[in-house]
Amino acid sequence: MPCVGTSADAARMSACATSENGIINSVRMDKWLWAARFFKTRSLAARACDLGRIGSNGQPAKPAREVRIGDSLQVKNATGDFRVEVLGLSEMRGPAVVAQTLYRESEESRELRLRLAEERKSMPHFETLREGKPSKRDRRQIDRLRRRV
């Protein structure tokens, strides 16, 4: 349901915090994180809030917490740890170019994230050990390594 108008319906007005002229004053945390493309779905954004991976103005945020312009958010997701300032509000997910206008990431956050990404790339990648008995192919490779064949 879009948040527009000045209806006297109390349930609708409590669900959407709008001003007299129809401009959105606040949005649910999970909706904003989804619209700003930090998470692929709202349920993933809500789950991150429940797990304590989202902070708003230095406090843990729940999915229903209201996000307002000027809020400082800390977002931890698979791509890194973001510290952002909210510049705009949206309840709809749009193109990535539009989503990036909703927030501004701090320079320290960006530098730290890029440095950690470089460190991850430079680390050697090891295969996980298989569980159980080696297969025939595995045994042959082991024998070749041990120079038995």
pLDDT tens, residue order, the chain (149 aa): 444 444 333 333 344 455 556 678 899 999 999 999 999 999 999 999 999 999 999 999 999 999 999 999 999 988 889 999 999 999 999 999 999 999 999 999 999 999 988 988 888 877 777 788 889 998 999 999 998 75
Could you tell me the two tokens for 38? 């930090």
Domain definitions of the chain by residue range: 27-122
Q: What angle do CA 50, 55, 60 make, to 5 degrees?
A: 55
Q: Which of 3.40.710.10, 3.30.300.30, 3.10.290.10, 3.20.20.70 would CATH assign to domain 27-122? A: 3.10.290.10
Contact 36, 85 (CB under 8 A): no
Question: How far is 75 from 61, CA to CA, in rounded Å?
Answer: 10
Could you tell me the two tokens for 35? 């619209």
